[in-house]
Structure 1
């Protein structure tokens, strides 16, 4: 029997953005948590309460605030909570450079020859 002599790969927790449903590393997303005081941002990612994750992109926040965030937190967002989250979302960029909602599918050049 031989020993394996390789570097251990550290486990990276994965989470899903409730806005666009893309799975990413936990640290790349912003956590929103439901507490007894209401819905709040959780910059540490360790606050007690039910949490949901959203990209730091305005488009994801807009989609999340339409209902997906409230569903993920299993609560109804109060007007105060919604205003606070919308104010945070207004500070975010529309879309990061290099990201696009329409990606090439790689089907160019696959047409049938006559």
Structure 2
């Protein structure tokens, strides 16, 4: 039986190819706003990031995300993305702590 096709995407931060479902999509909407697309189906130009703090940091500091979306981020949009990245980092650290306690 043939395996089902799994869509792959490249992370803007680390350039690693991973399954689309494991990534976070950032979308430039038709009205030029930049938002996090939690469904992965919103209309607009999209860019993908791994759910790792290092990738978010690289994408936002190095302007890789702006280049991928072909738009300059406003201070407000940039701050929202930093906040989301920090929340991912806290969740990641929490998982690591839980793994350390169960060992």
Q: TM-score, normalised by structure 2?
A: 0.83
Q: What is the CA–CA distance in structure 2 between the aligned matches of 1:58 and 1:82, rounded to whole Å?
A: 15
Q: Deviations over 1:38-66 (max 9, x none)?
A: 10000100000000000111110000112
The structure whose residues are more often helix, as a share, is 2
> Is 1:28–2:22 an aligned residue pair?
yes
Unaligned runs of 5+ in 1: 1-6, 98-114
Q: TM-score, normalised by structure 1?
A: 0.75
Unaligned runs of 5+ in 2: 97-103
> Is 1:69–2:65 an aligned residue pair?
yes
RMSD between aligned residues:
1.5
How many pairs align? 91
Alignment correspondent of 2:86: 90
